[in-house]
Amino acid sequence: MTAMIELDRLHKTFTLHNQGGVVIDVLSDVSLTVAPGECVALTGASGAGKSTLMRMIYGNYRAQSGAILIGGVDLVQAEPREIIRLRREVLGYVSQFLRVVPRVPTLDVVAEPLRAVGVGSDEARTRAKELLAQLNIPERLWSLSPTTFSGGEQQRVNIARGFAHPYPAMLLDEPTASLDAANREVVLSLIEDAKARGAAIIGIFHDEAARARVCDREIDVSRFTPARAA
Amino acid sequence: MTPLLSVQGLSKHYGAHIGCADVSFDLYPGEVMGIVGESGSGKSTLLNCMAGHLPPDAGAVVFDTRGHGPRDTVTMSEPERRMLSRTDWAFVHQHARDGLRMGVSAGGNVGERLMAVGARHYGDIRGKAVDWLDRVEIDAGRVDDRPTTFSGGMQQRLQIARNLVTGPRLVFMDEPTGGLDVSVQARLLDLLRGLVRDMGLSAIIVTHDLAVVRLLADRLMVMKDGHVVEAGLTDQVLDDPQHAYTQLLVSSVLQV
């Protein structure tokens, strides 16, 4: 089966122009593939570059060289509009933090990814309600903006939003962090459902039990971290 | 796909001083592009050259017209360009007063743009005006009031209604949330986002507010001293800026 996500000899440096032009080698020669229905965990100590790699795969950080192929599109070379289309239709990302327009009700925040791919307002809201109920967000909060919610509630709204549209490729940054046992279980079953429908998933999980349950493979990112001169 | 707008080598000088130099980009239907930079970076000059308010010294601004396909709006006749700016183009000024007729009622302000494209039936015009006031969250009871009696945020929303009533395909915005309270800004941003999505608009937004472009723009262009120093996907430019000036700009934002 062909890979849904394929990284080929990726290289990443940060150049800090305003701090003496320091060049930091972050990742080099990253190659990996993820097949549909597969979940791969990125591991490695803090600072190894897990989040940087994840952000590169989302097109949020720029690669110095190499290729990131998702559904046949190379994010390193793609025009902004191609990346936007990819993010809308193919590539989902559940970050650790919810970023929303103030004042927009939770229900619409969750329904928005579906509206963006052309799903009608009623159908999108119905799906959003299902997910919010599944993630135990009380119904009385649905009409409020999530900006004032607790950390755990925001995280669950973020997950609901991330799983609203059935993306063929998904990136999950600590999806079970700051969740209680019941909600953690819901998220793990959402991930299992996504795998069952054929989604290719890359995740960062500090929760080892969760990682063991949903991930098929682990990739230690520190092996891509260039040896630093002392 | 044909770009809706194709800007090619656009330059404008004020004597020896550079307004904007050799700016080129393509904007596709449904795309929102932000232009950021500090005061004097040339972003407003660029916007005004594109919108036909200022004659550029060199370059082309090719717009995909409904009737005749891609046409260079710099070399087209004044009446043609004026027609374009009343139909397919809209311009939202920073100061609503520059985009509104302050002596005319709110309904009249919206209706005037419809009449400019040939609407004549009073009932229809008024009906559409009321509908648009509602869409920008202005109470229908205020339709006969003059904008002088409106708050700054309401004036800005009225200006947006006046601009969008004719169903334009491209909207130019110059600091649309500048000078408004943060709470009013949030409301306006939410409104603009909804309108852009529902109407499939393309927009070019000039602002110095990075939070505004993060929320509204798909793409970002960073200007300094009349030149585009960096361009790309909005979150990529803001989160992983490559140019020294963009790095400075992004790291200078105060965290709330």
Query: pLDDT digits over B45-96, tens only?
Result: 999 999 999 999 999 999 999 989 999 999 999 999 999 998 899 999 999 9
B253–A contact, CB cutoff 8 A: no
- Test A62 with B251 for CB contact under 8 angstroms: no
CB atoms within 10 A of CB A43: 18
Shortest CA gap B233–chain A (Å) = 5
Do B63 and B188 share a domain, yes or no? yes
- Test B186 with A55 for CB contact under 8 angstroms: no
Shortest CA gap B186–chain A (Å) = 6
Question: Cβ distance B239 to A99 under 8 Å?
Answer: no
What's the pLDDT at A1? 56
Residues of B in contact with A62 (CB under 8 A): 232, 236, 240, 242
Question: How much of chain A, in percent, has pLDDT values that exceed 90?
Answer: 83
- Test A83 with B233 for CB contact under 8 angstroms: yes
A53 φψ region: left (φ > 0), alpha (ψ -120 to 50), beta (else):
alpha
Residue identified by tokens 């998702």 is: A70
Over residues A121-133, the mean pLDDT reads: 96
Domain boundary pick from B167, B196, B216:
B167
Q: Which two tokens stand for residue B62?
A: 């090719």
Q: CA nearest B183 in A: which residue?
A: A102
Q: Which two tokens stand for residue A172?
A: 């999950």
Q: Say whether A19 sits in a helix, a strand or coil.
A: coil
Residue identified by tokens 């097949």 is: A35
Do B216 and B246 share a domain, yes or no? yes
SS3 for chain B is: CCCCEEEEEEEEEECCEEEEEEEEEEECCCCEEEEECCCCCCHHHHHHHHCCCCCCCEEEEEEEECCCEEEECCCCCHHHHHHHHHCCEEEECCCHHHHCCCCCCHHHHHHHHHHHCCCCCHHHHHHHHHHHHHHCCCCHHHCCCCHHHCCHHHHHHHHHHHHHCCCCCEEEEECCCCCCCHHHHHHHHHHHHHHHHHHCCEEEEECCCHHHHHHHCCEEEEEECCEEEEEEEHHHHHHCCCCHHHHHHHHCCCCC
- Test A80 with B218 for CB contact under 8 angstroms: yes
Residues of B in contact with A80 (CB under 8 A): 218-219, 232-233
What's the pLDDT at B255? 65
Over residues B137-161, the mean pLDDT reads: 93
| Per-residue pLDDT tens over the stretch B233-251 | 999 999 999 999 999 999 8
Domain boundary pick from B167, B196, B228:
B167
* Sign of the four-CA dihedral A31, A32, A33, A34: negative
Residues of A (6-35) whose Cβ lies below 8 Å from B = 14-18
What's the pLDDT at B183? 74
Do B131 and B195 share a domain, yes or no? no
Residues of B in contact with A101 (CB under 8 A): 186, 189-190, 193, 215
Do B80 and B6 share a domain, yes or no? yes
Domain that holds residue B125: 95-167
> CATH number for the domain including B77?
3.40.50.300
- Test B240 with A55 for CB contact under 8 angstroms: yes
Do B161 and B172 share a domain, yes or no? no
Residue B225 has pLDDT above 60, yes or no: yes
What's the pLDDT at A94? 94
Q: Say whether A223 sits in a helix, a strand or coil.
A: helix
Q: CA nearest B242 in A: which residue?
A: A15
Do B222 and B122 share a domain, yes or no? no
* A&B contacts, CB < 8 Å: 52
Question: Cβ distance B162 to B100 under 8 Å?
Answer: yes
Residues of A in contact with B243 (CB under 8 A): 17
Question: How much of chain B, in percent, has pLDDT values that exceed 90?
Answer: 73
B181–A contact, CB cutoff 8 A: no
Shortest CA gap A104–chain B (Å) = 7
What's the pLDDT at B208? 86
Q: CA nearest A21 in B: which residue?
A: B244
Domain boundary pick from B150, B167, B184:
B167
Q: CA nearest A102 in B: which residue?
A: B186
Residues of A in contact with B196 (CB under 8 A): none
- Test A18 with B187 for CB contact under 8 angstroms: no
What's the pLDDT at A229? 43
Distance CA A211, CA A218 (A): 9
pTM of the model: 0.89
Residue B42 has pLDDT above 80, yes or no: yes
What's the pLDDT at B196? 84
Do B101 and B142 share a domain, yes or no? yes
Q: CA nearest B28 in A: which residue?
A: A81
Report the range of poorest mean pLDDT among A212-226, B18-32, B61-75, B197-211. Answer: B197-211
Tally of structural domains, chain B: 2
At A230, is the pLDDT very low, low, confident or very high (cuts 50, 70, 90)?
very low
Strand A169-173: give its sheet, edge to edge: A91-94, A169-173, A200-204, A39-43, A217-220
What's the pLDDT at A208? 93
Residue B252 has pLDDT above 90, yes or no: no
DSSP A18: T
Do B252 and B204 share a domain, yes or no? yes
Question: Cβ distance B35 to B46 under 8 Å?
Answer: yes
A228–B contact, CB cutoff 8 A: no
ipTM attached to this prediction:
0.89
What's the pLDDT at A104? 86
A78–B contact, CB cutoff 8 A: no
Do B75 and B143 share a domain, yes or no? no
Distance CA A44, CA A120 (A): 42
| Per-residue pLDDT tens over the stretch B102-128 | 999 999 999 999 998 888 899 999 999
Do B103 and B194 share a domain, yes or no? no
B44: which residues sit within 8 A by CB, 6+ positions away? B174, B206
Counted residue by residue, chain B has a size of 256
At A102, is the pLDDT very low, low, confident or very high (cuts 50, 70, 90)?
confident
B233–A contact, CB cutoff 8 A: yes
Q: Which two tokens stand for residue A3?
A: 């890979």
Inter-CA distances, A76 with A72, B11, B232, B246, Å: 12, 30, 12, 20
End-to-end, the C-alpha distance of chain A in Å comes to: 43
Q: Which residue from A62, A104, A115 is facing B236, i.e. has the nearest CB?
A: A62
Indicate the average pLDDT of chain A: 93
Residues of B in contact with A86 (CB under 8 A): none
Residue A228 has pLDDT above 80, yes or no: no
Q: Which two tokens stand for residue A15?
A: 């150049």
Do B132 and B146 share a domain, yes or no? yes
Indicate the average pLDDT of chain B: 91
Do B174 and B66 share a domain, yes or no? yes
Strand B227-233: give its sheet, edge to edge: B89-92, B170-174, B202-206, B32-36, B219-224, B227-233
Residue A60 has pLDDT above 80, yes or no: yes
